[in-house]
Chains A and B, each alone.
Chain A
Amino acid sequence: MALVRYLAFRVVNALVILFFVLLITAVMMNQYLEDQIRAEIRERIAQEVYRNPRYATYTPEEKDRLAANLTLRYEQIYGLDQPYVVRVLYRTVDAMMFDFGNALVLKSSTGSPVVSDIIIEAIPRTVLLFTTGTIITIVVGILLGIKAATRVGSFLDRAISTFAMFTYSLPMWWVGMIFIFYFAILLKIFPSGGMVSIPPPEDPVAYAMDVLYHLTLPLIVFVFVNFGGWSYATRSIVLNVLTEDFVNTARAKGVPERRILYGHVLRTASPPIVTSTTLAILGSIGGAIITEAVFNWPGLGRLFYQAILNGDMPVVIGLTYISTFLYVFAILALDFIYALLDPRIKVGFGGGR
């Protein structure tokens, strides 16, 4: 029962966080969004009244009156006649239900202006690049980290630590620019950007190969920049566990070193690694704005960049929601995993007392 209460509490907590992040986004973008809608209404009324041959015989006063009436009606349709608080709350609640409305400028590849369509189309592309990259990074990073931890002070160990420190402060998108310059411009072995050739190949197999060809360079950049940090973190965690008393006990008992490592140490070291892995994989779905912009990769990150450039606020709200949602969902998922695995976790106020 306590477990159910705990989990219910975490779910409510997650929803509240989501609501507030969306509310803040909606408040911040409200002015801009409504200015855009008002401009659109003005443009439409100019079309329908002032430039409409049907009303050519009307006097200017009559036209103005007609326009004023129409403006009121459009403002009702868009909910602009409601008080500010109501407008913002409506927008937030709609977004919570994944209803982001229509985009102002951007369109999906099928021409749909519905924000959800535009976003759903971009998700698999980002997943293809960043989630694949994250998984490769994690596997390579953890394996190297374990190797380094078992050989402290070796060349491999020191190389990984140095490399991790160097890549910690390396902007991934800049590495992308450098790799594009070297591999795409100088050596000409990879394309300089995009996800498929233009025009895309018709044959599905050729299409897949073409995507793979475009995918390789950004994937290499992603793994190059990130695996060092993973190795270093894994190394530190494993090393910490290796100094615990139970490891000494196991060694004293004569348990083979391999079994100590894989049976005892890794089991103890896994919770923090599981945490980072979950966060990283779910976080990867949000993409990386600048890296996608540099590689011209048509995923969520580049979509966000284009939405900002075009001032397309409904798309911005939608994307902000998606990335917050993923983060909060990841935290929630971790709560669930730990609650199931660790009986000590209890719910209630005064935690940590």
Chain B
Amino acid sequence: MYGMGIKDVVREFLRFRGGIVGIFLLLIIVGMALGAPLISDEEAGNRWYDLEYWVEKDLPKGVPPAWVGVFEGRSYSVTERFPGQIPETNRFILRTNITYNMKYDVPPSDVVIRVRIAEEANISATTTYFVRLNVYRPDGTVIERVLDLETVNRDLKISLKSEDRSRNAIISFMKDFDEEGYERIINQGLTEVIDVIYILFSQTGEGALLERTEPLKGIYTFELEIIRTDINLELDSLELLAMGAAHGVFGTDTNGRDIFVGIVWGARVALILGLIVAIVSVLIGVLYGTVSAYLGGWVDEILQRIQEFAISIPLLPLLLILAFYFKPTIWNLILLLIVFSWPGPVKTIRSMALQIREQLYITAAKAVGASTGRIVLRYIFPQILPYTFALVAFAVPGAILTEAGVSFLLGAQGVLEITWGRILSDAQDASAVLTGMWWWVLPPGFMIAISGLAFVLIGTALDRVLNPRLLR
């Protein structure tokens, strides 16, 4: 509908429910992109790929979102820190008891012991100390020597879930109650994979090793002994961390990263890349098609051959090949996507421009002596412009999808920014699907789909409002 004012367009647009939903979804994503530093930690977003930073954050690894408990009707344990009392003594053995009230339906995902040696301790670099841990369970049973190791490190952080000693200690504790399960573990070589922390906090009995018996609620006492070999070795702190079984809005990945942070920051790349690629490539394509149609003759012929060539290049393979040469920053990727996306709208635009070219006012403009540039830009282009908005909206999802695909395939070789495709790539590398970590796979793909959907809805509504008659 040529000649509509902006107000008319807006009023017409608002009559389409789909368009309103699209605007609403778009606002959510724009809000995420702009508000990323506010709704999530800015430093966490900047250091997403710095895994050591995430280790320091002490988030539980590979746990579901905090709200799953509500739907399952079970309480998930949350992350809790227990500082241990450091006894004032001049003995070699420093002993402290840390009590933990396990009152949850889902026990912690890990228990971490952290020892820090005082900075000012006057000891040689090779001075060792021993760490021992006994666990007194609520049912009166005791797991002895869950830890028993010697270390030269000044500071120590041990995860009972991944430490061999504690794994074996817990398995052999439960062996007495579940001999059949123990045999199966040995025969099937499962010692490395079973969840020992769950066993640590579960009731004794048949099937405790493999079938997961009920958790054993109550007070657990962790008896921690630091045995020093040099009396000058002073402790700065002792700490026990019960890692939660659920965390945050979207849970965490196996590196202990908060997936919510990744999702929020990923909106930036998706929006910037999607919009820039769509706008620039559609504009190039529209101008190209218009010029080609207006000039006609052999120029048109050559321009059409070039377009056919450009559109025949298989995009995704080429992007992957190019990744060998360019470290694909987001700007490189945007440039490449534009180079390969502009031919898309050319043919349609050209056929529209061919019809406009034959109209009387163009002939009149020519007769008055208007230049080619003026005719193309001032007389033909404005006629096509409304349709361009819809084209841009429809081009955004394609760009976002391609970026996601490239990031998914390239993984660590891909762009340096946080992208939803890269999160999915990490999930795939960690076999998140096969191990059931749905919270790592669903949100990124859902966001890709939602942001695409927003633009499709807006595009469809725009199309209905603005589509010039000549396309019908």
Q: Which residues of chain A have a CB within 8 Å of any CB of chain B? A: 13, 16-18, 20-21, 24-25, 28-29, 31-32, 165-166, 168-171, 173-175, 177-178, 180-181, 185-186, 192, 240, 286, 289-290, 293-294, 304-305, 308, 311, 316, 319-320, 323-324, 327-328, 331, 349-353
Q: State which size class the interface on B falls in.
A: 35 or more
Within 281-337 of B, Cβ neighbours of A (below 8 Å) are at: 293, 296-298, 300-301, 305, 308-309, 312-314, 316-318, 320-322, 324-325
- B409 and A324 form a contact (CB under 8 A): no
In contact, B313 and A178 (Cβ under 8 angstroms): no
| Known A20-B309, A180-B434, A350-B298; 9 more pairs at CB < 8 Å | A16-B305, A21-B309, A21-B313, A25-B318, A29-B321, A186-B436, A304-B320, A308-B320, A350-B301
* B220: A residues at CB distance < 8 A: none
Residue numbers in A under 8 Å from B320 (CB-CB): 289, 304, 308
What separation, in Å, do the CA atoms of A181 and B428 have in the docked complex? 12
CB pair A25 B321 closer than 8 Å: yes
**A327 adjacent to B312 (CB under 8 Å):** yes
Contact A169 B400 (CB under 8 A): yes
Q: Within 8 Å CB of B224, what residues of A? A: none
The answer to whether B448 and A324 have CB atoms under 8 Å apart is no
Residues of chain B within 8 A (CB-CB) of A290 are: 316, 405, 408-409
Q: How far is the CA of A320 from the CA of B313 in the complex (A)?
A: 9
Closest 5 CB pairs of A and B: A169-B452, A174-B445, A169-B397, A323-B314, A181-B433
B313 touches A24 (CB 8 A): yes
What string of 1s and 0s marks CB contacts (under 8 Å) between B439-465 and chain A? Answer: 001101100110111011100100000
CB–CB B293/A352 < 8 A: yes
Using A28-B321, A181-B438, A240-B472 as known contacts, say yes or no to A169 and B314 having CB atoms under 8 A apart. no
For A308, the chain B residues whose CB sits under 8 A away are 320-321, 409
CA distance A109 to B351 in the complex (A): 49
How far is it, in angstroms, between the C-alpha of A316 and the C-alpha of B296 when the chains are bound? 38
Shortest CB distance B8–A (Å): 24
Query: B37 at the A/B interface (Cβ < 8 Å)?
Result: no
List residues of chain A with CB within 8 A of the CB of B313. 21, 24, 324
Residues from chain A with Cβ under 8 Å of B296 in the complex: 350, 352-353
State whether B445 touches A177 (Cβ < 8 A): yes
Could you give 28 example pairs across A and B, Cβ below 8 Å? A28-B318, A29-B321, A29-B324, A31-B325, A165-B456, A165-B457, A166-B449, A166-B453, A168-B452, A168-B453, A168-B456, A169-B455, A171-B401, A174-B404, A174-B444, A174-B448, A192-B434, A289-B317, A290-B405, A305-B409, A311-B324, A320-B318, A323-B317, A327-B312, A350-B296, A350-B298, A352-B293, A352-B296
Main secondary structure of the interface of A (DSSP, over half): helix
Decide if B434 touches A352 in the complex (CB within 8 Å): no
Indicate if the CB atoms of A185 and B433 lie closer than 8 Å.
Answer: yes
Interface residues of B (CB under 8 A from A): 18, 293, 296-298, 300-301, 305, 308-309, 312-314, 316-318, 320-322, 324-325, 350, 354, 397, 400-401, 404-405, 408-409, 424, 427-428, 433-434, 436, 438, 441-442, 444-445, 448-449, 451-453, 455-457, 460, 472
- Are A169 and B436 neighbours in the complex by a CB distance under 8 Å? no
Our pick among A21, A171, A289, A350 for the contact of B297 (Cβ within 8 Å) is: A350
A177 and B321 contact, CB distance less than 8 A: no
Query: Would A171 and B449 count as touching, CB distance under 8 A?
Result: yes
Among residues of B, the one whose C-beta sits closest to the C-beta of A166 is B453
Residues of A within 8 A of B309 (CB): 16-17, 20-21
Q: A29-B321, A316-B317, A353-B296 are in contact. Are A170 and B434 (CB under 8 A)?
A: no
**Contact: B404 with A171, CB < 8 Å?**
yes
In Å, the complex CA distance between A165 and B309 comes to: 30
Residues of A within 8 A of B324 (CB): 29, 32, 311
Q: How far is the CA of A331 from the CA of B304 in the complex (A)?
A: 14
Q: Which of B298, B312, B427, B445 contacts A171 (CB 8 A)?
A: B445
- Contact at B312–A17, with CB atoms within 8 Å? yes
Given A165-B457, A169-B397, A308-B320, is A293 in contact with B409 using a C-beta cutoff of 8 Å? yes
Known contacts A165-B456, A293-B409; A177 and B449 CB within 8 A of each other: no
Determine the residue in chain B with the shortest Cβ distance to A186.
B436
The CA-CA distance from A28 to B18 in the complex, in Å, is: 44
Inside 8 A of B451's CB, which chain A residues have their CB?
A: 169
CB distance from B320 to the nearest CB of A (A): 5
In the assembled complex, which residues on chain A have CB atoms less than 8 Å from the CB atom of B449?
166, 169-171, 174
A28-B321, A165-B456, A173-B405 known; A320-B433 Cβ under 8 A: no
Residues of B within 8 A of A178 (CB): 441-442, 445
Closest residue of chain B to A240, judged by CB? Answer: B472
Q: Which residues of chain B come closer than 8 Å to A351, judged between CB atoms?
A: 300-301
Closest to B448 in A: A171
Residues from chain A with a CB closer than 8 A to the CB of B354 are: 352
Residues of A close to B405: CB separation below 8 A: 171, 173, 289-290
The one of B400, B404, B436 in contact with A185, judged by C-beta atoms closer than 8 angstroms, is: B436
CB distance from B448 to the nearest CB of A (A): 6
Given A17-B312, A327-B312: A320 and B317 interface contact (C-beta under 8 Å):
yes
Which single residue of chain B is at the shortest CB-CB distance from A321?
B314
- Provide the bound-state CA to CA distance between A25 and B312, in Å: 12
State A174–B425 Cα separation when bound (angstroms).
10
Q: How far is the CA of A331 from the CA of B313 in the complex (A)?
A: 13
CA distance A171 to B300 in the complex (A): 36
| Chain A nearest Cβ from B428, distance in angstroms | 7
B16, chain A: closest CB distance, angstroms: 12
**Cα(A331)–Cα(B311), bound, Å:** 11
- CB pair B312–A328 under 8 Å, yes or no, is yes
Contact indicator B301/A289 (Cβ below 8 Å)? no
